[in-house]
Amino acid sequence: MTIQPARLSDPAVRAFVTAVNAHDRDAFMDLLTPDATMSDDGADRDLAEWIDNEIFSSHGHMDVDAESDGGHALIAQYRNDTWGEMRTAWRFTVTPDGHIARFETGQA
């Protein structure tokens, strides 16, 4: 059963999923710390290049199936125009002021 983004526990993670699904690059970038990092399938990637390729230019969309760790870990069906749909795991490092310093994703 899909969890609606508005029901996600952590406000930063909720805003992340909302921005991805709305294809709102400005809102997405506002969530990140200036030195934010990310990894995909265990390998660190260039953040700007990855989000362009995997989210914004390919119409990424997340349907969240489960959350844990206070809302900082998600299992989601992720789809985009490049790869189609896959079951993915997401983990977020959220700063005390509510920004995302790092996110990690990969196939679940």
pLDDT (0 to 100) of residue 75: 98
Provide the CATH number for the domain around residue 62: 3.10.450.50
pLDDT (0 to 100) of residue 1: 78
Report the length, in residues, of the chain.
108
Q: What is the phi/psi pair of residue 26, to 5°?
A: -60, -45
> How much of the chain exceeds pLDDT 90, in percent?
99
Separation of first and last alpha carbons in the chain: 16
pLDDT (0 to 100) of residue 102: 98
Q: Indicate the number of domains in the chain.
A: 1
> How confident is the prediction for the chain on average, in pLDDT?
97
Asked if 10 and 71 touch (Cβ cutoff 8 Å), the reply is yes
What digits encode the pLDDT tens for the residues 35-88? 999 999 999 999 999 999 999 999 999 999 999 999 999 999 999 999 999 999
Q: Which two tokens stand for residue 12?
A: 């930063």
What's the burial of 37, exposed, middle or buried (CB within 10 Å: 0-12/13-18/19+)? Answer: middle
Domain that holds residue 11: 5-107
Q: What is the mean pLDDT of residues 83-106?
A: 97
Position 97 pLDDT exceeds 90: yes
